[in-house]
Amino acid sequence: MLFLTNGPLPFAIVAFLLGAIPFGYVVGKLRGVDVRQSGSGNIGATNVSRTMGWQTGVLVLVLDALKVAVPTWTLWWFTGRQQAGVIMAVAGMLGHVFSPFVGFRGGKGVACLLGAMLVLQPLATGICMAAFVGIMAASRLVSLGSLAAAVVLPVALLLLHQPGYLVMFGVFAAILVLFTHRANIARLRNGTEPKFGQPASTER
């Protein structure tokens, strides 16, 4: 009822600010590392993993996923409307990508999308994860696997006969991930994108 009375904006602002928490940067600082000055300079889990080890990367991945998954699930449960959860997911992803806490240069949104979709449509998430793992195993390119998963998402939602608003969220998410990976796409095209396990310094 509160959502219906006051509208989604106050909740979306909260979700944006939660999504904007730069866990990669915070965790790095706690370990004496400014991840923005290492590897690709991105605060996301992939760069954290390359600069501080896979365990730290997994921690950041989980935190980034949870910061979107929790508000998405909470408002969906509170209102009984999946659309409310989708609004939280959009706001959280935008907060992560355009975080005001790190000069509006946040992460790439893949972990946040994973968290949101595990709540909104687990089966579609499984399909996308299979695409990620398959491409990643074949190419050893994390970015290519992420791009493949993002592109597969709206198709999977459509094939699973999901509501139009959820398919549109999938389209939005795919476009956002393509946008945040534009530098990776350029490196993929010229063959300089680092493969999984390569030192972070090769990405610059």
pLDDT digits (tens, 9 = 90+) for 149-186: 999 999 999 999 999 999 999 999 999 999 999 999 99
Instruction: List the domain boundaries for the chain.
Output: 2-203
What distance, in Å, lies between the first and last C-alpha atoms of the chain?
Answer: 50
Q: Do 18 and 90 touch, CB atoms closer than 8 A?
A: no
Concatenated DSSP letters of 4-54 = HHH-SHHHHHHHHHHHT--HHHHHHHHTT--GGGSTT---SHHHHHHHH-H
pLDDT band at 195 (very low <50, low <70, confident <90, very high): confident
Structure tokens at 31: 């370990």
- 200 pLDDT higher than 90: no
Please give the single-letter amino acid code of residue 81. R
Q: What is the pTM of this model?
A: 0.92
pLDDT band at 9 (very low <50, low <70, confident <90, very high): confident
Instruction: State pLDDT tens for residues 113-136.
Output: 999 999 999 999 999 999 999 999
Q: Give the DSSP letter of residue 193.
A: P
CA distance 188 to 185: 5
CA distance 196 to 190: 17
CA distance 113 to 80: 21
The pLDDT score that the predictor gives to residue 201 is: 44
The pLDDT score that the predictor gives to residue 204 is: 38
CA distance 94 to 36: 19
Instruction: State pLDDT tens for residues 29-61.
Output: 999 999 999 888 899 999 999 899 999 999 999
pLDDT exceeding 70 applies to what percent of the chain? 93
Instruction: State pLDDT tens for residues 52-88.
Output: 999 999 999 999 999 999 999 999 999 999 999 999 9
The pLDDT score that the predictor gives to residue 12 is: 95
